[in-house]
Chains A and B, each alone.
Chain A
Amino acid sequence: MTATLIKPTLPPSTHPFADIIHRLEAGGSMLPDTPENLKQIIGIYKAYAVPMDFYWRDLLYIGEQVFLNPLPFFKYFISKEYLQRPNDYACANCSPLILRGEAVVHPELMYFIEKGEAGRKLPKIMHHLWHGRVNMEFAEACMRSMFWHKDINPRFNDYLYTDTYKAAADKAIRAYFKRNPVMMGLYKLFPEMFLEKVRELSYYANLGLFWEVMAPVFFEMSDIYDEGGFAGVPDAMDFLVNGIFAVAGRPIYHHAYINGECFEIIPKSAGFTWLYEAALPYVEAIFYRTAPFRGTKSYNAQAKQVPAEQQNFHYGILYADLFPVGSAGIPPTLLMQDMTHFLPDYLLETYQEHGRGEDDLLNQVGVTFQRSMYNVTSAVIQALRCALLYPLDDTNPEHLKANREFFEQNLDRFTRPEARLKEIQKQKYR
Chain B
Amino acid sequence: MLSLLICLPVIGSALLFALPEKYVRLGALTVSGLSLLWTAWLFTQYDMTDLGFQFTEHLTWLPALGLNYTLGLDGLGLLMVGLNAFLGWIAIYTTAADVERPKLFYALMLIVSGAVAGAFLAQNFLLFFFFYEVELVPLYLLISIWGGEKRGYAATKFLLYTALSGALILAGALGMVWLGEAANFDYETLTQIDLSVSYQVLLLVPLLFGFGIKIPLIPLHTWLPDTYVESSTPVAILLGGVLAKLGTYGLLRFGFSLLSDGWQVLAPGLAVWGSITVIYGALVAIAQQDIKRMVAYSSIGHMGFILLGAAAGNTLSLSGSIAQMASHGVILAILFALVGIIEKKVGTRELSALNGLMNPIRGLPVISALLVMGGMASAGIPGLINFAAEFIVFQGSFRQFPAQTLICVIGTGLTAVYFVILLNRTCFGRLDNERAYFPKVTIGEKMPAYVLAVVIVVLGLQPGWLLRWGEPTAVRIIIPTTKVEAATEQPAIASLSPEVLLQ
Contact = CB atoms under 8 A, between A and B. Distances in A.
Contact of A323 (B362, B439, B440): B362
Nearest to B360: A326
Interface in A314-341: 321, 323-328
A52 interface: no
A429 B433 CA distance: 8
A224 to B, nearest CB: 32
Contacts of B363: 323
Contacts of B274: none
B433 A360 contact: no
A429 B363 CA distance: 16
B439 A321 contact: no
A202 interface: no
B431 A423 contact: no
Interface in A108-123: none
A321 B432 CA distance: 10
Nearest to B356: A323
B361 A297 contact: no
B431 A324 contact: yes
Contacts of B15: none
B359 interface: yes
A430 B430 CA distance: 17
Given A297-B430, A423-B433, A324 B440 contact: no
Contacts of B431: 321, 323-324
Interface in A327-379: 327-328, 355-356, 359-360, 362-363
Given A356-B439, A356-B440, A359-B440, A321 B361 contact: no
Interface string B140-161: 0000000000000000000000
Contacts of B440: 356, 359-360
A362 B363 CA distance: 13
B436 interface: yes
Given A323-B356, A356-B439, A356-B440, A362 B433 contact: no
Interface residues of B, number: 13
Contacts of A356: 361-362, 439-440
A149 to B, nearest CB: 25
Given A323-B356, A323-B436, A355-B437, A360 B430 contact: no
A323 B359 contact: yes
A321 B437 contact: no
A19 to B, nearest CB: 20
A327 B360 contact: yes
Given A297-B430, A423-B433, A324 B360 contact: yes
A430 B436 CA distance: 10
Contact of A359 (B361, B430, B433, B436): B361
A23 to B, nearest CB: 23
A323 B359 CA distance: 7
B362 A363 contact: yes
A321 B436 CA distance: 12
22 contacts: A321-B430, A323-B356, A323-B359, A323-B362, A323-B363, A323-B431, A324-B360, A324-B430, A324-B431, A325-B361, A326-B360, A326-B361, A327-B360, A356-B361, A356-B439, A359-B361, A360-B361, A360-B362, A360-B440, A362-B361, A363-B362, A429-B433
Interface of B: 356, 359-363, 430-431, 433, 436-437, 439-440
Which 5 A-B pairs have CB atoms at the shortest separation, nearest pair first? A326-B361, A326-B360, A356-B440, A323-B431, A323-B362
